[in-house]
Amino acid sequence: MEHHHYSSSSSLPFFLFSLIIFILFISQLLKLLDKKSKVTSKKKEKLPPGPWTLPLIGSIHHLVGKSLPHHRMRDLAKKYGPLMHFKLGEASIMVVSSPEVAKEVFKTFDINFAERPRHLGADILTYGSTNIATARYGGYWKQLRRICSMELLSPKRVSSFKSIREEEVMNLITWISDNTESCVNLSEKVASLTSAITARTIFGEKCKDQEQFISLLKNLGKIVERVFVVFSLFPSHTWLHYISGAKRETEKVHKNFDIVIKNIIKNKIIRMKNNEDDEDKSHTVDLLSILLNIVEDHGAYEYPMTINNVKAIVFDLYGAGIETSSAVIEWTISELVKNPEAMARAQEEVRKAFGTKESSSSSSSSLENLTYLKAVIKETMRLHPPFPLLLPRECRETCEINGYTIAAGSQVIVNAWAIGRDPNHWGGEEDAERFRPERFLECSIDYKGCDVEFIPFGAGRRICPGIYFAVSSIEICVAQLLYYFDWKVPKNGDIEGELDMTEYFGSTARRKNDLILVPIPWNSSNNN
Return the percent helix, strand and coil in the chain, to nearest 5: 55, 10, 35
What single-letter DSSP state applies at residue 517?
Answer: E
C-alpha to C-alpha distance for 240 and 248, rounded to whole angstroms: 11
Cα distances from 170 to residues 231, 514, 523, in angstroms, run: 42, 22, 17
Indicate the helix (H) or strand (E) that contains 429: helix 428-433
Amino acid present at 502: T
Q: Is 464 annotated as a binding residue?
A: yes
Strand-pair category, 411-414 with 91-96: parallel
Torsion of CA 243, 244, 249, 250, to 10 degrees: -100
3 state SS of 464: coil
Helix (H, G, I), strand (E, B) or coil at 154: coil
Name the region of 460 (left: φ>0; alpha: ψ -120 to 50; beta: rest): left
Within 10 angstroms of residue 427's Cβ, the number of other Cβ atoms is 13
Q: Distance between CA 161 and CA 301 in Å, rounded?
A: 26
Please compute, for residue 342, the number of CA atoms within 13 A of its CA located in the half-sphere on the CB side.
23
Which segments are annotated as binding site? 464
Which segments are annotated as binding site for heme? 464
